[in-house]
Amino acid sequence: MVYWCHNFHIFVLFVGDFTVSMAPKRSAKTLSGVPKRKKAVMCLTEKIRVLDKLRSGLSYSAVGREFNVNESTIRYIQKKEQEIRQSVREAAPESAKVTSIVRDAAMEKMEKQLTLWIHEMTTNERSVVDSVVVRLKAKEIYGHVTQGQENVKPFSASAGWLARFKRRYHMKNVKLAGKAGSADWEAAEEFKKYLLSIIHEKGYMEEQVFNADETGLFYKNVGKRTYVMRMASKAPGFKSFQDHATLLLCANAKGDFKCKPLMVHRAQNPRALRGKNLNRMPVHWRWNKKAWMASGIFWDWFHNCFIPEAERYLHSKNLAFRVLLILDDAPVHCHEELENAHPDIEVLFMPPNTASLIQPLSQGIIKAFKAHYTRELYSKAFEALDANEEATMMDYWRSVTIRNVIDYIGTSWDSIKQATINNCWGNVWPDCVKNFEGFEGVTKNIKNTVENIMHIAQQISGEGFDDMKEGDVEEILAEMAVEPTNKDLDEMAKHGIGVSDDEDADESQPTTPRIVPLTAAKIAEWNSALEKIFNDMEECDPMLERSLTFKRLTSNAFVPYAETLKDLKRKAKQTRLKQFFKPVWEGKLLTPPSCESQTPEVELPDLAHHLH
């Protein structure tokens, strides 16, 4: 029998000896006020962390609680472990941090190589890398990476794919026409604020803040309109990149210190340098087959060139060896390894697409150096032609050896004035600039050097020289990209930008052992393991005092890692800036109650109830 109770708005159902009361269904209007649980969408990088936790022995429920997701989600992630790990291996780090689904391996590989290609090509301010060019290149690379495969999915490089690609890799403003074309002004402003806060908080002086960056140098380029370059380009087997090298330049904010340039050349021991001591030259000499910077070469420079030179300089100034090094986001700059490479060196990485806006070397230092180098090249040519009237500019051009080039590089780098370097820091650290001329003074000096080059060229005479214009010289000074081949992109994707360090390694090439980076995630993993041990000991040890003593002593010993984690989390914030902000780890950190005042900003577990 069924009765309806009007007073309480319920149905009463009598079934044999049982009575069941049923409330009426809630209307949609009633449910609308109930907040819905936000769906957790985990990126592939987070899923890898989940899988690593499961491998460490944590249960499904424990991992679910840590990541605030259901146990069923954790089980599903483990079920897809193979596909997830393969997708992350093929993807670039930027994509893995924002992609939540397992994508086709060929697509991930193509996009990774495409980003490397864009990075190389946008170093040339005159190159046009717009959306049409990117889509065509994407189709070309996709065809390359899927060559020989069966059941290949069709890929049209549609406008929709391009929009998603730009979001995944934070390329907001494609049209990508050179570095400035894709610049991120908002991120640049945020980084400037962050940098100034670090400088003021830690008391860095102008002498202690450094910037380093690479630049390509076509060291025999005298202008493409000149008859010399036109004749040379028509010669059998001519390749412009044969006269190309990569330079790594570094200077401090005060402008009174310049590191010896590092030069990456194609040849290990060129004929012109045979019998010479490569350690006693105006440059640090390194090599690989493409004359590109590689992560191993940069790591070696950091330890064996930059640190000793900076240390000698600061000691000569009676200053403490405390260094803040600013770098761009190029993959060769060993991001994770540099975070803990030296206890007295802090490294800040600029956000993507901001170097052209705020990096001091890009504000005029590199251009001033190239202007001095080109003037040196032209001056030596004029002297040679003046000394021998029968000689031609082509004769001189052919006679220039790498030994001459190294001499010109050393002379040109020494010619950069302190005021020029200091003024170029004005965009990112205005208070350090001492000369009120600022960028106008730098631009004026470069313009004077350009006019000097034009004057020398007109005295040399010949097609392309006697009518040389300012635009011709500016073209020589501009960053020029050497477009990597598909085979080059394979190597770059495998080993980072630049060729394989192992492939070109030689016993005489200086090497520094790479260190395994200490990450916040790794410290978190240790913390979880210790918490599990503490809980097991308290559960199984009949002597509670003994287990609590062990916990207290171990927590005290863990304090240095607590401080390291705090520093790593702070550093991680500056790599994202606004849309990039994301904590590396949000777990709890072990530390004893007595040390809470020493690390007030780190979230600590409540151990006080157990220790007192």
Mean pLDDT over 460-483 rounds to 86
**Cβ proximity of 375 and 411 under 8 Å:** no
| Cβ density class 507-524: b for 16+ within 10 Å, e for less | eebbeeeeeeebbbbbbb
| CA 546 vs CA 542, 593, 610: distances in Å | 9, 18, 12
pLDDT at 447: 94
* pLDDT of 137 higher than 90: no
Question: Tokens in use for 604?
Answer: 């600590």
**pLDDT (tens digit per residue) in 233-292:** 777 655 555 789 999 999 999 999 999 999 999 999 899 998 888 888 999 999 988 888
Nearest to 209 by CA among 353, 332, 364, 313: 313
User: Which has the minimum average pLDDT: 2-16, 266-280, 391-405, 598-612?
Assistant: 598-612
Three-state DSSP at 327 gives strand
* pLDDT of 173 higher than 50: no
Q: How far apart are CA 439 and CA 39, in angstroms?
A: 50
Burial of 390 (0-12, 13-18, 19+ CB in 10 A): exposed
* pLDDT of 358 higher than 60: yes
* pLDDT of 181 higher than 50: no
* pLDDT of 510 higher than 80: no
| Angle at alpha carbon of residue 81, lines to 79 and 86, rounded to 5° | 145
Region label for 349, one of left (φ > 0), alpha (ψ between -120 and 50) or beta (otherwise): beta
* Higher pLDDT pick, 446 / 126: 446
Q: How far apart are CA 116 and CA 106, in angstroms?
A: 16
Q: What is the DSSP string of 310-322?
A: HHHHHHHTT----
Q: How far apart are CA 482 and CA 595, in angstroms?
A: 55
User: Which has the minimum average pLDDT: 17-31, 49-63, 480-494, 577-591?
Assistant: 577-591
pLDDT at 606: 43
Mean pLDDT over 306-334 rounds to 94
Total residue length of the chain = 612
| CA 4 vs CA 1, 8, 24, 26, 376: distances in Å | 10, 9, 11, 17, 102
Q: How far apart are CA 429 and CA 439, in angstroms?
A: 13
pTM over cut 0.75: no
Burial of 440 (0-12, 13-18, 19+ CB in 10 A): exposed
pLDDT at 423: 94
For tokens 């635009």, the residue is 471
Task: Write the secondary structure of 20-86 as one string of H (helix), E (strand) and C (coil).
Answer: EEECCCCCHHHHCCCCCCCCCCCCHHHHHHHHHHHHCCCCHHHHHHHHCCCHHHHHHHHHCHHHHHH
Element (H, E) at 287: strand 284-287
**Cβ proximity of 63 and 53 under 8 Å:** yes
pLDDT-derived band at 524, boundaries 50, 70, 90: confident
pLDDT at 89: 65
| Share of residues in the chain with pLDDT > 90 (%) | 38
Nearest to 432 by CA among 441, 423, 443, 440: 423
